[in-house]
Amino acid sequence: MSTQTVMIEKLGAQGDGIVHADGGPIYVPFTLPGETVAIARIKTHGTLMSISDPSADRQDPPCRHFGPDGLNGTCGGCSLQHMNDAAYRSFKRQLVVDALKSKGLTPEVADLVAAHPGERRRVVFAARRTEKDMLIGFNQAESHHIVAIEECPISSAGIIARLPAITAIGAALANSAEAFRIAVLETLSGLDLAVDGIKNLSDQQRRKAIETVLSLRGIARVSLNGEILVEPSKPLVDFGGVHVVPPPGSFTQATKPAEDAMAEVLLAHVGKAKRIADLFAGAGTFSLRLARVGRVHAVESEDKPLVALDHAARNTQGLKPVSVEKRDLFRRPLMTSELKVYDAVVFDPPRAGAEFQCKELARSNVKKVVAVSCNPLTLARDLALLVGGGYRITGVTPIDQFLWTPHVEVVATLEK
């Protein structure tokens, strides 16, 4: 390890400051462009020791768990609390601009739809029983060390208010000193807890955990490794006025405002399309909203979300017909011949994107396409395929829902 003074040149895609030095770039978390800082260097990683010339874009971190004086975040949940709002929002929008430019695409990119404190309805906690108590918090960056939290400005008030209940449930389930995860989703009917990583729970421990949950208020469901342990009330999420019971631990957008912003862009572009395909549909985040517009064919690779989507569609009045199909779109994308019946196609894939599906779409005559993505780099690749097939990008909207992290959602609209 060597200690040296450097000036930060720019931010990388993960939000770390970058310095070009002998031997290549050094990545220094919690720094900003233009700052002169002292770092302890190990190969390509620099640990921030002090700042002699801070940036005008630097601010005091809003959360005490971010780290003493904001020099080195300890919690591991956030990485950009030291950056003021204007610089932070500009950085996130620029991530999208740069990703598109890397594929030769230069469409107009809208201003970032901002995230705000207290909006996160889905949070994943790290947990572990110690000799003295139960640890609930987040893993320190690049570490298995759990930082116990007492506040979390990104999370909803409903989750933070029930931290004692979440801790009690974790304590009732923990049967060793091994770490495990508790994914918490705030629903209309209470918290939905999906616990993963606990093995060989005895019948006695299972009964104790169930009794603990039933003694607490505000808990809708607790599942263990995908199996429902106890469900005092059905957890309900609202997808554009349609209530859905999501499977334990299933994917939902992290914040309701971001989901609504995505849906608003998507619905405006689809317009009055009569037949719509929603690919990578999950439990119906967009399918059920689109079903107020036209007939929807929802395609998803997992059974349980499709069952939840289908049940909600069948039990909600005022929707156009919704059909569902279980299909691995990575291995079996909808072919050009299958796509010809649709006026519009929406796709919202995992981080890997939808390369093979976009190759088929590019050869199709589908009039309108909406691409939703959590990864600007794979989105840029997919959009380049579509543009190469004759599509025109009509809008790109970056949307923030992972506040104070380098992750950004994007909705892109295209027309043939």
SS3 content of the chain, % helix, strand, coil (to 5): 25, 30, 45
Catalytic status, residue 374: yes
Which residues lie below 8 Å from residue 131, measured CB to CB, with a gap of 6+?
Answer: none
Phi and psi at 238, nearest 5°, equal: -110, 110
| Cα torsion angle, 13, 14, 18, 23, sign | negative
- Residues 337 and 300: their CA atoms lie apart, in Å, by 19
300 is in an annotated binding site: yes
Q: What is the DSSP string of 196-260?
A: ES-----HHHHHHHHHHHHTSSSEEEEEETTEEEE-SS---EEETTEEE-PPTT----SBHHHHH
Residue 87 tokens, joined: 């610089």
Q: Which of 75, 78, 358, 374 is catalytic?
A: 374
Query: Which residue type occupies 401?
Result: Q
259 is in an annotated binding site: no
Locate tokens 């768990």: which residue? 65
119 is in an annotated binding site: no
Work out whether strand 10-11 and strand 17-21 pair parallel, antiparallel, or are unpaired. Answer: antiparallel
- Residues 371 and 402: their CA atoms lie apart, in Å, by 19
- Residues 144 and 126: their CA atoms lie apart, in Å, by 9
253 is in an annotated binding site: yes
Count CA within 13 A, CB hemisphere, residue 357: 30
- Residues 28 and 141: their CA atoms lie apart, in Å, by 13
Q: What is the DSSP string of 359-399?
A: HHHHTS--SEEEEEES-HHHHHHHHHHHHHTT-EEEEEEEE
Q: Which of 337, 365, 408 is nearest to 89 (CA)?
A: 408
Which residues lie below 8 Å from residue 177, measured CB to CB, with a gap of 6+?
Answer: 128, 129, 130
> Active-site residue numbers?
374
Binding region for S-adenosyl-L-methionine: 253, 280, 300, 348
